[in-house]
Amino acid sequence: MYMNKIPVGILGASGMVGQMYVSLLADHPWFELRYVAASPRSAGKKYAQAVADRWHIDHELSKKEWDCGIGGLIVQDANDVSKAVIAHKAGCCDFVFSALEMDKTEITKLEEAYAEAGLPVISNASAHRMTTDVPMMIAEVNHHHTDLIPIQKKNRNWDRGFITVKPNCSIQSYITPLWALMQKGYEIKRLVVSTMQAVSGAGYPGVPSLDIIDNIVPYIGGEEEKTELEPLKIFGTINTDGRLVHASEPKISAHCNRVPVSDGHTACISLEFGTKKPSIEEVKKIWTDFTSLPQEEQFPTAPERPIIVREELNRPQPRKDKNAGKAMAVSVGRIRPCQIFDLRFVGFSHNTVRGAAGGGLLSAELLKHKGYL
């Protein structure tokens, strides 16, 4: 069953993002889930028992996967790195996806402990996003930031282990479209973004029902700061001395709101170009034609079309567009002139797939392609 597949593990496997990883890995052609770890209260249980009353994915695993494979894995204590090391030596865990949900300082130390022990860590947590030598990647945008990995390993005297992270889930609903324009020579000077973010982005149990039903909450702790800073690292360049220099533009002003939607983050964008300004039709063509390394190399999780342009006046919508391109595509619509800046549009992506587990899985495929896994 495991022939020619890389054995992988999940830290935080019982949480919402961890469960999404389990679902996406169930029939992955390159990776095989062999190791799961979570909090001490889940440790020692079969995975199926640990999530029996808290399975949040909207589709079930097959009976075979549940009873004979994934469901039968014994959950380990994620705080005990030695268990993963033993699994690695036994050929059951070559690297881990981190979907940990704990204090940021604790996550920082724990992910570093796994990497120091020789296990690469592909993280969904925010703990290392702004760490200078840790690449924060959207595979279609800054896949070249994998060049930071040898530098990171040298800086920390790590042999096989390293850490990569994915960015905040909400910015992925528009960063790829911005990058596609920048790749065609259009400088983006400033943008204003207002996000409408699904409740699943808060994890489980997440936002209390009495706070979100029939309501909008115009505050998500730390979200606006992440929205304004993380793109500058993603758009940054690696100097000849191996140092990542953040981009100075675009300047970003963000408003982040929690809305009563199950899955899918929506962003309303107004942006200002530099001297060179594309027409609306050119923008649509750039987005429709855009592909990058994951598409060119046909990575299993990559959408065939990373940006889908919707011409309908009322799209994209979470209910209708969240599963576009295997739930990995960015849908854009309402592309029109801006009365204050130059261009405005609506971007949308699935926050727990593209913005979380699917984005991490695509990063792993990128890392395998480049020989790091």
- Of 143, 169, 256, 350, the active-site residue reads 169
Sort strands 343-349 and 330-337 into parallel, antiparallel or unpaired. Answer: antiparallel
Q: Identify the bridge partners of residue 194 per DSSP, sorted by sequence position.
A: 255, 268
Residue 132: CB partners within 8 Å, gap ≥ 6? 243, 244
Is 169 catalytic? The answer is yes
Contact by Cβ (8 Å): 165, 142? no
CA dist 100 and 128 (Å) reads: 12
Give the full edge-to-edge strand order of the sheet including 76-77. Answer: 76-77, 31-38, 6-11, 95-98, 121-123, 163-165
Is 68 catalytic? The answer is no
* Tokens 């107004």, residue located: 270
- Of 88, 128, 143, 265, the active-site residue reads 265
Query: From start to end of 23-162, where are the E strands?
Result: 31-38, 76-77, 95-98, 121-123
Each as own residue / partner, the long-range contacts of residues 316-323 (CB below 8 Å, 24 or more positions apart, any chain) are 316/266, 316/346, 316/347, 316/348, 317/348, 318/198, 318/261, 318/262, 318/263, 318/264, 318/266, 318/348, 321/264, 321/348, 322/263, 322/264, 322/348, 322/350, 323/350
Active centre residues (catalytic): 169, 265
